[in-house]
Structure 1
């Protein structure tokens, strides 16, 4: 069984703990981190548009990409240590949600944590990237709360025309 665990800053411990608890022994566990291209792209664009061209060695976007790679490597190392089982670490970059869906192709399970408004139950508990992944995942998804889930009393009241 192949289990892909999406490692995201801030919520990754819950995803790793869920994989450790629910992935059968002997599963191939893939720890996945995706660096988005938005921030480096902004830095590249600012350099080209505002600071001029002709000195690519001064492009801050390149440094941002390098730092993101270093951060991803450390995060994956911490995740592997927390998992405490054999795993494969995968770093990707691009459109985050599409890279996660592509990485889950052929997997038997994708594990991710809620990353939106975690103060109440409901669809807003998923950020835009996670919502896309949940809607387009090519395999079963295990969606976990990074902390204790709010109670059912947090569900908003139905609209007046449904009462």
Structure 2
């Protein structure tokens, strides 16, 4: 059984804890971190377009790419340590939601955390990327709260009855 664990800054500990609690010990666990291309790309563009003929070694986009890689490696390392069992560490770059879905090919389970409004129950507890992944994942999904779930009183009211 291959279990993909989507790690996102701020919510990853809950995902790792869920794997420890629910995934069979014999599972192959893949810790996945995806970096979007946006920030380094914007910096590259600004350097090229606004700063003109600067020296390539001064391009801030390259530095941001390097920082992003080290941050991902640190996060993957911390998650592997918290997991406390053998795992695969996978770093991908691209459109985050699509990279996560692609990484799930052949997986038996995807674990991810809610990333939207975590103060109340309901559909807004998922941000756009997580919603896309939940809707398109080619495997079962375990969706966890990064902290204690909100009280049931935060659930939206039922729709009004229809009159005919």
TM range (shorter): over 0.9
The 10-residue stretch of structure 1 (41-50 or 88-97) with the greater mean CA deviation from structure 2:
41-50
Aligned length: 163
Instruction: Find the aligned partners of 1:13 and 1:111 in 2 and give their Cα distance.
Output: 11
Distance 1:43 1:26, change over 3 A: same
Correspondence for 1:140: 140
Q: Which runs of 4+ in 1 moved over 6 A?
A: none
Correspondence for 2:19: 19
Distance 1:16 1:55, change over 3 A: same
RMSD (Å), alpha carbons: 1.4
Instruction: Find the aligned partners of 1:160 and 1:42 in 2 and give their Cα distance.
Output: 47
Q: SS where residue 42 of structure 1 aligns?
A: helix
Q: Deviations over 1:104-140 (max 9, x none)?
A: 1100000000011000011110111111100100100
Instruction: Find the aligned partners of 2:42 and 2:159 in 1 and give their Cα distance.
Output: 41
Q: SS where residue 120 of structure 2 aligns?
A: coil
Correspondence for 2:57: 57
Q: SS where residue 30 of structure 1 aligns?
A: strand
User: What is the TM-score of this pair, normalised by structure 1?
Assistant: 0.95
Q: Deviations over 1:63-107 (max 9, x none)?
A: 101000000000000000000111000011010000000001100
Instruction: Find the aligned partners of 1:124 and 1:45 in 2 and give their Cα distance.
Output: 33
Q: SS where residue 9 of structure 1 aligns?
A: coil
Report matched runs for 1:141-160 at 5 Å. Answer: 141-160=141-160
The 10-residue stretch of structure 1 (53-62 or 33-42) with the greater mean CA deviation from structure 2:
53-62
Correspondence for 1:8: 8
Offset, 1:53: 3.6
Correspondence for 1:41: 41
Instruction: Find the aligned partners of 1:146 and 1:18 in 2 and give their Cα distance.
Output: 10
Instruction: Find the aligned partners of 1:107 and 1:5 in 2 and give their Cα distance.
Output: 10
Correspondence for 2:118: 118
Structure 1: where are the runs of 5+ without partners?
none
